[in-house]
Amino acid sequence: MTETTNIELNYFKTIGHGYQWFLLYEFVIGDKTLFDKSDIEILKEIISSRILNKSLYHNEMDGIELELKGLGETPGRPYEFDKIEMSDFQFINSKTDFKNWITKFRTEGWVDDQDDAKFLMDRAEKELWSRTDLKNGVWYLTKENFEEDSDKLIEIHWIYLHFKTFIEIDRKNETIRTFDFGYD
């Protein structure tokens, strides 16, 4: 499954505001048997694929105007995926629980840029709900769950104040959806 030929970036949306950004990707998988596996088995497979790697830029984006300028030059996700374990992922069960997470993220812990965070989250939430209902929940990794000196973070992880990567396994549409919130 991890071969590039079995993975197609079907949809993406980039939203940037100030120093914050949101990226949404939808991948169609050629190997339909992937969706017969458990969530944990699927996560183990996609963690070594181009779906969940350090890079946030995909060749399918070439020549397309992106709202988030310089995406190809960004350092990418701050995780050392070859060292990530399944216990590093957290699970949000429902759309309601995710909406509660968004409300908390939008309003708590912001010393600076809270207005920018609210603006970005409003736009990101609108885009996300236009694509999914998170019926099966969502898995996520957050930089904040690792110690500063963790070998599970890339060396330049410190450039991000926040970084969250979400993974939705959409069995109905046979799609893997990822979305990232970043703040640098």
Q: What is the pLDDT of residues 2-48, one digit of tens each?
A: 455 589 999 999 988 877 888 999 999 998 899 999 999 999 999 97
For 129, phi then psi, to 5°, come to: -70, -20
> Cβ contacts of residue 181 below 8 Å, gap of 6+?
20, 21, 22, 105, 120, 124, 162, 163, 164
Q: What is the pLDDT of residues 119-156, one digit of tens each?
A: 888 899 999 999 999 988 999 999 888 988 899 988 77
> Distance (Å, rounded) from C-alpha 82 to C-alpha 105?
28
Residue-level pLDDT at 155: 79
Neighbours of 15 (CB within 10 A): 20
Q: What is the pLDDT of residues 38-94, one digit of tens each?
A: 999 999 999 978 898 888 888 888 878 777 776 766 778 888 999 999 999 999 999
Of the CA atoms within 13 Å of residue 118, those in its CB half-sphere come to 8
pLDDT tier at 117 (50, 70, 90 boundaries)? confident
103 sits in which H/E element: helix 95-107
Show me where the domains of the chain are located. Answer: 4-183
CATH of 4-183, one of 3.30.70, 3.40.630, 3.40.1000, 1.10.3230: 3.40.1000
